[in-house]
Homo-oligomer: A and B are copies of this chain.
Amino acid sequence: MQVNSHAFRGHDASTGEEIAPDFPVSTAADVEQACTAAKQAFADYRATSSEERAAFLEAIGDEIMALGDDLLDRASKESGLPLARITGERGRTVNQLRLFAQVVRSDRWRGVRIDPAMPDRTPLPRADLRLRMVPLGPVAVFGASNFPLAFSTAGGDTASALAAGCPVVVKGHPAHPGTDAMVADAIRKAAQACGMPSGVFGHLQGPGNELGSALVRNPNIAAVGFTGSRSGGLAMLKIAQERTVPIPVFAEMSSVNPVILMEQALASRGKELGEAFVGSLTMGAGQFCTNPGLVLAVEGEGLSAFESAACAAMADQPAQTMLTSGIREAYAHGKEALAAKPSVEKLATGKAGDGSTCEAPELFAVSGSAVLADSSLLHEVFGAASLIVRCADIEELKAILRGLEGQLTATLQMDDGDRETAGDLLAILEQVCGRILANGWPTGVEVSHAMVHGGPYPATSDGRTTSVGTMAIERFLRPVCYQDIPAELLPAELRDNAKVPKLLDGEPA
């Protein structure tokens, strides 16, 4: 909440009460100052060696750890997320920074390609051509509400942009200003200790949309990383496209993450699936980008067993503290809107909350034909609500999958006997989403080399990338070719003797 036009405070998510201290609301002048400093820092920062940059990333991780329990307490209080979850998230955040340090040291991100000169080629000689990837420039990063550490000030966007050689200006999420301020201090300490230019990291805070808009409009910003709502992501995308020089926006926005319960799996373990599903649905009060908000199955005994088990499990689920009052209200409205649809049946509700900061999980059901007639049933309700779609047959289920908007994930619950049909569904799902799982749950996103946390629009604004995993570094790089440049002037990694992974005439060397 804004204390006055110059300051605001965080809240204890579980009580709704303000927490000291005040944080200054960043001004237009602050945006300008941070972006100008980032641009000034760019020349020096992009010239740092892989080792220097990797050490900086590791130092950020160390400084975050050095914040100790104070950080965990503050993040838990501001987010309403349990201390254990926040502790795990801190580990993920620090490991992510360390993983990107490894990536930087590998030099594979430099994408070196060398096509040596062919002076004697006929009819025309070939010039000496050397390609490397270079960083785009200062990156604006928007912190997310639901991961106060892993997708916020020192989260995946920041780690991958810094790894690429781009200075970062973070706009913290106003739901957790205290957490952000502590992490920002840690980054600044690490930058100073590592001798990085001071503008390599900037931090802006404040409620409202104008701050973020000004950041994306700033001509010194070269790219945007965003995790949040569809409306927020699309607003930033529009601003970025309307600039004199448009810039790329990597916005991870919304997804209902369909879970398909296949016939044999339902027959053999409908009850267990129902229980496990509720566990995934209600984890973190359902406030995950990969929360399973949609379940699809062909009607029958197996689905009935699944539903019965899920309903029973739901009855025991406590209402959980949600991240912010705004998210809680949107979730409550989303549930009401779904319940108000004549085609929708409310199957189960968890325990009621106190009506102020908590909200109960809910489970709905609808027929496949109703979904085919009204795709608005498939819009994301951010929180622990899910819709079971009872399909008349597998063809109806396939038709619904084919008509889905882009998704982050899709999950198949399948047994051996389901394989043939699963193969058909895979071919559809590959075109719909960025990650396909078998016999797991979409919540839980590994930070590794093969992860894709992305997907076709509107899951993200650019389905050709990922925002989690080491491939995320590629978002902030572009290729430059050096033709016949004298060896002494070539960047170090493009010289003949450079020990970096490369393609020599198209072959690894």
Within 8 A of B (CB), among A3-45: 43
Instruction: Indicate how many identical chains form the complex.
Output: 2
Least distance between A438 CB and chain B CB atoms (Å): 5
Residue from the list B115, B414, B463, B483 in contact with A435, Cβ < 8 A: B483
Complex interface: stretch among A50-58, A195-203, A321-329, A472-480: A472-480
Contact call B481/A129, Cβ cutoff below 8 A: no
Least distance between A399 CB and chain B CB atoms (Å): 15
Contact call B462/A248, Cβ cutoff below 8 A: yes
Contact indicator per residue, chain A 429-455, by CB within 8 Å of chain B (1) or not (0): 011011111111000101011111010
Contact call B137/A470, Cβ cutoff below 8 A: no
Within 8 A of B (CB), among A396-437: 406, 414, 419, 422-423, 426-427, 430-431, 433-437
Contact indicator per residue, chain A 113-141, by CB within 8 Å of chain B (1) or not (0): 11100000001101101110010110000
Contact call B130/A450, Cβ cutoff below 8 A: yes
Contact call A454/B471, Cβ cutoff below 8 A: no
Least distance between A448 CB and chain B CB atoms (Å): 4
Least distance between A289 CB and chain B CB atoms (Å): 14
Which of A427, A431, A505 has the largest number of chain B CB atoms within 10 A?
A431
**Range of interface residues on chain A?**
35 or more
Is A373 an interface residue, CB under 8 A from the partner? no
Is A88 an interface residue, CB under 8 A from the partner? yes
Q: Could you say which residues of chain B place their CB within 8 Å of the CB of A124?
A: 444
Contact call B503/A508, Cβ cutoff below 8 A: no
Which of A406, A419, A423, A426 has the largest number of chain B CB atoms within 10 A?
A426
Q: Could you say which residues of chain B place their CB within 8 Å of the CB of A444?
A: 124
Is A457 an interface residue, CB under 8 A from the partner? yes
Complex interface: stretch among A172-180, A204-212, A484-492: A484-492
Q: Could you say which residues of chain B place their CB within 8 Å of the CB of A126?
A: 446, 448
Contact call A437/B506, Cβ cutoff below 8 A: no
Contact call A481/B440, Cβ cutoff below 8 A: no
Contact call B129/A485, Cβ cutoff below 8 A: no
Closest to A87 in B: B123
Which of A88, A457, A481, A484 has the largest number of chain B CB atoms within 10 A?
A481
Contact call B450/A463, Cβ cutoff below 8 A: no
Is A501 an interface residue, CB under 8 A from the partner? yes
Q: Could you say which residues of chain B place their CB within 8 Å of the CB of A414?
A: 486
Q: Could you say which residues of chain B place their CB within 8 Å of the CB of A456?
A: 245, 478
Residue from the list B106, B123, B435, B465 in contact with A481, Cβ < 8 A: B435
Q: Could you say which residues of chain B place their CB within 8 Å of the CB of A505?
A: 449
Interchain CA distance A450-B436 in the complex, whole Å:
34
Least distance between A122 CB and chain B CB atoms (Å): 11
Residue from the list B129, B423, B452, B465 in contact with A480, Cβ < 8 A: B452
Interchain CA distance A123-B84 in the complex, whole Å:
12
Q: Could you say which residues of chain B place their CB within 8 Å of the CB of A440?
A: 127, 483-484
Contact call A245/B130, Cβ cutoff below 8 A: no
Is A241 an interface residue, CB under 8 A from the partner? yes
Q: Could you say which residues of chain B place their CB within 8 Å of the CB of A436?
A: 480-483, 485
Contact call B481/A449, Cβ cutoff below 8 A: no
Q: Could you say which residues of chain B place their CB within 8 Å of the CB of A462?
A: 248
Which of A457, A462, A464, A506 has the largest number of chain B CB atoms within 10 A?
A464
Contact call A449/B503, Cβ cutoff below 8 A: yes
Least distance between A405 CB and chain B CB atoms (Å): 8
Contact indicator per residue, chain A 354-392, by CB within 8 Å of chain B (1) or not (0): 000000000000000000000000000000000000000
Is A246 an interface residue, CB under 8 A from the partner? yes
Is A76 an interface residue, CB under 8 A from the partner? no
Contact call A430/B134, Cβ cutoff below 8 A: yes
Closest to A131 in B: B450
Q: Could you say which residues of chain B place their CB within 8 Å of the CB of A320?
A: none
Contact call A427/B506, Cβ cutoff below 8 A: no
Q: Could you say which residues of chain B place their CB within 8 Å of the CB of A103?
A: 506
Interchain CA distance A134-B479 in the complex, whole Å:
21
Interchain CA distance A452-B137 in the complex, whole Å:
19
30 contacts between A and B (CB under 8 A): A88-B123, A103-B506, A106-B506, A114-B450, A131-B452, A131-B471, A136-B464, A137-B431, A241-B241, A245-B457, A246-B457, A248-B462, A422-B489, A423-B489, A435-B480, A435-B482, A436-B480, A437-B483, A437-B484, A437-B485, A438-B485, A439-B484, A440-B484, A450-B481, A450-B503, A451-B481, A452-B480, A463-B478, A464-B478, A466-B479
Known contacts A102-B506, A136-B464, A137-B431; 5 further A-B pairs (Cβ under 8 A):
A115-B448, A130-B450, A248-B462, A433-B480, A438-B485
List 3 tightest A-B contacts by C-beta distance, closest first. Answer: A452-B481, A129-B450, A113-B450
